[in-house]
Amino acid sequence: MNPYRLLPKVDKLIDEVSEHPSLANQEIPRLLITQQARQTVEGLRRAIEEKEEAPPEFKTIVADLAEELSLLAASRIRPVLNGTGVLIHTNLGRSPLAAEIADSVRTIGSQYNNLEIDLVGGARGKRGRYAEACLAALIDAPAATITNNCAAALILMLRHLANGENNEVIISRGELVEIGGGFRVPEIMEASGAKLVEVGATNKTSLEDYERAITPRTGMLLKVHRSNFTIEGFTDEPSTEELVALGKEHNIPVVEDLGSGAMVATDEVADIPHEPTATEVLKRGVDLVCVSGDKLFGGPQAGIIAGRADLVAGIKKEPFFRALRCDKMILTAMQETAITYLQGLEDESVRAGLPLLRMLATDVESDLRPRGEAILRAVDNSRLNLRECTARCGGGTMPKAEFPSLAIALGGNGAELEALAASFRHHPTQPLVGKIHDGHFLIDLCTIFPEQDESVTVILKDLL
């Protein structure tokens, strides 16, 4: 029999798949189904042509396509309850914004605004000027600017300072790090056109190592903060001050990629190590520092460059800056987050409006236990109990920053726990990502917002 005759008709496939029970309530646009159905039929046709493989039965084709579409639909971005206890979870969108800040993003995003007009003089204005001024004030830097993310900030600093005849960048082998998701500092550096000059060894780099590597072609000395791992034992590296002095002596700028971007003393907010702040790094004399907007700063995805005014101004004139700049909504979120910090310097309760800082300051006994007990009472299921656990900063920040937390716990064996975790993740209306630890599925309450306790209660009743 001619195998082409077994190819389904696209229209019939679309109709059948649209009605498939597994896609009920998924609201998948018809055109998306159409396109996927066409690709399916095209794939089956190619299989006949290339491998002379007859297509499967029509109902199998329908079921397979429905399954694919259902997986695709699950990838639609939606709110997720974070029960992992990882505050800055890159897979869960890193830092959540304060609700009021998200509201201002909505307001600005849905209306015209003064993004680039000077409302006083009527002429063209500078994009993000207020946000930049607030950040510079917060960091106590001569100038600051905002880019698409910290990786973009690094690329811009490299392009501005290490180009042409002076494209050599000296960096310690102990700092050639991978941040995550394939972001490797050496690769970023090379993509920017800089020439990497590695010095020292993984565990030890001396000032002389840097000094010996300086040539007339050196454009920058770069320090990369080891934000997601630590090196211990037989280690040594020059202090930032020593590196700065070396740079000054040879008239070479010194730049630090700080990544994590704490704006407050983390050790004062919680019982965790001190994470260097941009302010501290600049005080040590580096010319420029870059930090992430959505790590410890607690803002949207963005990068902040702060430091010498002439260099920041030069970076903003780079043609590449245009490609890596932020839009009105991100600039609004950065502006409002920076303002919240500035107000928080006078009134600490304002700062607690930033979810990240509030979570960092969580206390198990006074904040989490009463909430956990209330949820257990409301669900009233004997399988549930409260267990002490450990929350983490995460997101490539502070590998050692762990602090005590409390979780709703469900016991079980390995396979049961995996199935349980999957059923919470796949919950149709409120996906919840938890963690499996020590024979239990845990919902860490530190990263669940108090106003989400009600949802957690509903899900638990639903699934147990």
Identity of the residue, 153 or 357, whose beta carbon is nearer to ligand PLP in the bound complex:
153
Q: Give the number of other Cβ atoms within 10 Å of residue 226's Cβ.
A: 14
- CA–CA separation, 345 and 339 (whole Å): 10
User: Least distance to ligand PLP from the beta carbon of 313, Å?
Assistant: 22
Closest distance of CB 268 from ligand PLP, Å: 21
**What are the strands, taking DSSP E only, across 39-163?**
81-82, 143-147
Q: Looking at residue 166, what DSSP letter applies? A: G
Interface residue with ligand PLP, options 257, 275, 287, 444 (CB under 6 A): 257
Angle at 145 between CA 284 and CA 186, to 5 degrees: 70
The span of 49-57, 134-142, 254-262, 370-378 binding ligand PLP (CB under 6 A) equals 254-262
Binding track, positions 199-238, relative to ligand PLP; x by CB under 6 A: -------------------------xx-x-----------
Contacts with 342 (C-beta within 8 Å, 6 or more apart), sequence order: 134, 137, 138
What residues from 390 to 429 belong to the interface with ligand PLP (CB under 6 A)? 396
Task: Provide the 10 A C-beta neighbour count for residue 181.
Answer: 9
- State in angstroms the smallest separation of the CB of 278 from ligand PLP: 12
Written as six digits, the tokens of 188 are 């970023």
The piece of 13-21, 75-83, 231-239, 257-265 that touches ligand PLP (CB under 6 A) is 257-265
- Which positions from 129 through 188 interact with ligand PLP, judged by CB under 6 A? 149-151, 179, 183
Residue with tokens 């009021």: 100
CA distances from 75 to 40, 192, 448 (A): 19, 32, 21
Nearer to ligand PLP, 223 or 316 (CB): 223
List for the chain the helix, strand, coil content (%; round to 5): 45, 20, 35
Residue closer to ligand PLP, measured from CB, 8 or 259: 259
> How many residues bind to ligand PLP according to rule CB under 6 A?
14
Which C-beta is closer to ligand PLP: that of 220 or that of 379? Answer: 220
Q: How does 305-324 read in b/e, with b if 16+ C-beta sit within 10 Å?
A: bbbbeebbeebbebeebeeb
Residue 303 binds to ligand PLP (criterion: CB under 6 A): yes
Nearest to 301 by CA among 280, 327, 269, 340: 327
Binding mask 280-299 for ligand PLP (x = CB under 6 A): ------------x-------
- Which residue in 40, 167, 260, 266 binds ligand PLP (CB under 6 A)? 260
Task: Catalog residues that contact ligand PLP under the rule CB under 6 A.
Answer: 149-151, 179, 183, 224-225, 227, 257, 259-260, 292, 303, 396
